[in-house]
């Protein structure tokens, strides 16, 4: 019984705003009632017609959303710090960026990739690649930039690749034990290409730092053309 009362008291305290807790303390002093009773009355008054239970539920939901927002902010900051520590590589290295888009998700797929060589070489990829989801688009973009690298590689070739899809990068690097479900074929294709190139470093970077590849993928979406419709039956 005492445990239940403590839980109820903690729930009220967590739901109350600072001004409401102050008001409840004044009410308790004026009427000689406990702080818990005073706080419950204060919150019931704030709840109005919706009722105390609805008020407590909505505020609990708001607290959970705020906690999630703060956690995401911390995660984004940590990821940005990790991105700043990405290996720059030697001046002789090739560098590539890739991005895939699905409009909607799932929907029409467009891929973008940019490959830059140490002597000013520049190769762009911007293609529509059918229908699917965003992870399939990201994998298609990664495949495209690897194929482009294979087409121009002078031996030996060191390649630094950057993408903003943690799902795909973690899947390729094997940091998720089970692997990404439904992407097994795409992963096998990428792994086979990586084995041909040998010296490839795959790095994650924030989306806002992957602008050129994103631009190319969006161009592919903008120029997306439907397949010709089948002939009408006669």
Q: For 87-110, what is each residue's pLDDT tens digit?
A: 556 778 899 999 999 999 999 999
Q: Using CA atoms of 168, 169, 170, 174 in order, give the dihedral in degrees to the nearest 10.
A: 100
What is the reported pLDDT for 68?
80
Most confident of 70-79, 114-123, 148-157: 114-123
> What count of other Cβ atoms lies within 10 Å of the Cβ of residue 124?
15
SS3 120: coil
Return mean pLDDT, the chain: 85
Cis before residue 156, ω within 30 degrees of 0?
yes
By C-alpha distance, which of 57, 93, 112 is closest to 224? 112
What confidence category does residue 228 fall into, taking pLDDT thresholds of 50, 70 and 90? very low
Strands 200-204 and 159-163: parallel
Mean per-residue pLDDT, 152-174: 89
Q: Is a pLDDT exceeding 60 seen at residue 80? A: no
pLDDT digits (tens, 9 = 90+) for 190-209: 999 999 998 999 999 999 99
DSSP for 199-218 reads -EEEEE--GGG-HHHHHHHH
Q: What percent of the chain has pLDDT over 90?
A: 47
pLDDT at 229: 41
Q: Please give the pLDDT value at position 2.
A: 61
Q: Confirm or reject CATH 3.90.180.10 for domain 94-222, answering yes or no.
A: no
Q: Which pLDDT belongs to residue 154?
A: 66
**Structure-token pair, residue 42:** 């204060």
Where do the domains of the chain lie? 2-83, 94-222
What is the signed CA dihedral for 52, 54, 58, 63, rounded to 10 degrees?
A: 40
Residue 217 · residue 112 · CB < 8 Å: yes
How many Å apart are CA 81 and CA 110, to the nearest integer?
29
pLDDT in tens, 17-67: 889 889 989 988 998 998 889 888 888 888 899 998 898 888 888 888 887
Q: In the predicted model, is pLDDT for residue 220 greater than 60?
A: yes
Q: Kindly state the average pLDDT of the residues 123-128.
A: 96
Task: Determine the average pLDDT of the residues in 2-29.
Answer: 84
Confidence of residue 175 (pLDDT cuts 50, 70, 90): confident
């Amino acid at each position: 019984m005492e445990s239940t009362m403590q839980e109820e008291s903690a729930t009220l305290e967590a739901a109350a705003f600072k001004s409401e807790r102050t008001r409840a303390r004044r009410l308790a002093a004026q009427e000689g009632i406990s702080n818990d009773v005073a706080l419950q009355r204060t919150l019931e008054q704030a709840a109005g017609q919706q009722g105390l239970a609805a008020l407590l539920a909505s505020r609990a939901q708001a607290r959970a959303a705020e906690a999630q927002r703060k956690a995401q902010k911390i995660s984004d900051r940590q990821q940005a710090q990790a991105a700043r520590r990405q290996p720059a590589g030697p001046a002789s290295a090739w560098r590539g960026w890739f991005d895939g888009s699905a409009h909607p998700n799932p929907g029409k797929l467009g891929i973008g990739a940019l490959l830059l060589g140490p002597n000013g070489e520049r190769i762009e990829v911007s293609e529509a690649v059918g229908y699917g989801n965003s992870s399939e688009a990201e994998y298609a973009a990664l495949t495209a930039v690897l194929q482009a690298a294979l087409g121009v590689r002078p031996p030996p070739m060191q390649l630094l690749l950057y993408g903003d899809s943690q799902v795909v990068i973690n899947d390729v690097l094997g940091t998720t034990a089970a692997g990404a479900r439904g992407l097994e074929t795409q992963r096998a294709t990428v792994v086979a290409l990586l084995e041909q190139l040998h010296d490839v470093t795959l790095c994650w970077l924030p989306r806002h730092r992957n602008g050129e590849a994103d631009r190319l993928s969006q161009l592919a979406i903008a120029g997306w053309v439907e397949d010709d419709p089948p002939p009408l039956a006669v």
